Amino acid sequence: MAASSFLCNFLSFLLPTKPPPTKNPPPQLSATSSTQHQTRKFGDRLVPLVAQEGQPSSTSSSLSTELSSVIFPSLAYANTLFFKSAYNVQVIVDDNEHEERLLNRFRREVMRAGVIQECKRRKFFENKQDEKKRKTREAAKRNRRRCAHSSQDSHRKTSRIPWQTRRKKRIIGIYLKEIFPIERILLNLL
């Protein structure tokens, strides 16, 4: 344990100090983050190495950090410079956004992530019977929604892509979200 931390120390000496990545979110944020970066004491430089061990929660694979540091070395620490903690949902606020709209956006993101439902489920222990009931209920809801949608769209001849492709797309999306968070921020802003 001590050896590994010593190694981390040593490596962080060797690594060149990274300037904040060129593709930055709006300039105010980059200015504050850059000043933050400079005024940070040495002890925090361990953060990029250490924080990568405890990964952001929902969907990261263990490959993403090593892969990203090999393929895109300049972007390897971009994530950790901005997002040091694990989060479920993140909403980036621009200054002149209306209060209600911001709230609605946040609420929608949270609902999509299913945070509150998950919390309620985990509040009490659920035995196998209850779990089965819940799963069948959710599956029924999903199937009902899918049937309703497909019956509406059947006139338009939209072919439903097979689940393998859908899964692949989802994984790629998640991978991209991990590797290029900056792009997603910019896309969200635009």
Is residue 85 within the footprint of other proteins (CB under 8 A)? yes
Question: Closest CB to other proteins among 53 and 95?
Answer: 95
User: From the CB of 128, what's the least distance to other proteins, in Å?
Assistant: 13
Question: Closest CB to other proteins among 97 and 153?
Answer: 97
Question: Closest CB to other proteins among 8 and 89?
Answer: 89
Phi then psi for residue 160, to 5 deg, are -85, 125
- The closest alpha carbon to 114, from 87, 144, 88, 149, belongs to 88
Question: Closest CB to other proteins among 8 and 29?
Answer: 29
Is residue 63 within the footprint of other proteins (CB under 8 A)? no
Window 131-190: residues binding other proteins (CB under 8 A): none
What type of residue sits at position 6? F
Binder to other proteins among 66, 118, 138, 183 (CB under 8 A)? 118
Q: Is 18 exposed, middle or buried (0-12, 13-18, 19+ CB in 10 A)?
A: middle
Angstrom distance (rounded) from CA 134 to CA 139: 9
Is residue 24 within the footprint of other proteins (CB under 8 A)? no
Binder to other proteins among 11, 116, 161, 172 (CB under 8 A)? 116
Is residue 31 within the footprint of other proteins (CB under 8 A)? no
- Tally of CB atoms within 10 A around 79: 23
Angstrom distance (rounded) from CA 138 to CA 133: 9
Structure tokens at 136: 């069948």
In this chain, which stretch among 87-95, 139-147, 162-170, 173-181 interacts with other proteins, using CB under 8 A?
Answer: 87-95
In this chain, which stretch among 6-14, 65-73, 116-124, 145-153 interacts with other proteins, using CB under 8 A?
Answer: 116-124
CB 84 within 8 A of CB 47: yes
- The closest alpha carbon to 189, from 107, 91, 73, belongs to 91
Binder to other proteins among 49, 67, 110, 186 (CB under 8 A)? 110
